[in-house]
Amino acid sequence: MNGESKAITTLIVAAAVIASLTLPAYSQAWGKKNGGYAGPPVEKRPVIDEKAYKSALERIPEPKQKYDPWGVARPSEPAKTETKPN
């Protein structure tokens, strides 16, 4: 094999690899254009009752203490440092 045919072979192999990587993504997009799954029909979706939603939120009790997600990882009070004279 001479240098020119080796370069052409490398180019063809690289193009084939790139094409094979893009084909799965292309096929997924193709199904949505031709009538893919669009979710449940509009008339069968549940109706949201705003009044019931707001009353449910009002029934949630307020916490007595503010939630601290890092409370276990660090002490609640900062550590006191002692100053030492030189």
Question: How far from the centroid of its chain's Cα atoms is residue 76's Cα?
Answer: 33
In a domain, 80, yes or no: no
In a domain, 78, yes or no: no
Domain membership of residue 12 as a residue range: 1-31
Which helix H or strand E contains 20, and what residues bound it?
A: helix 3-33
In a domain, 39, yes or no: no
pLDDT in tens, 73-86: 876 666 667 776 66
Determine the Cα–Cα distance for residues 85 and 80; give it in Å rounded to an integer.
16
In a domain, 54, yes or no: no
pTM tops 0.75, yes or no: no
In a domain, 64, yes or no: no
pLDDT in tens, 25-42: 655 555 455 555 666 666
In a domain, 58, yes or no: no
Number of domains in the chain: 1
In a domain, 47, yes or no: no
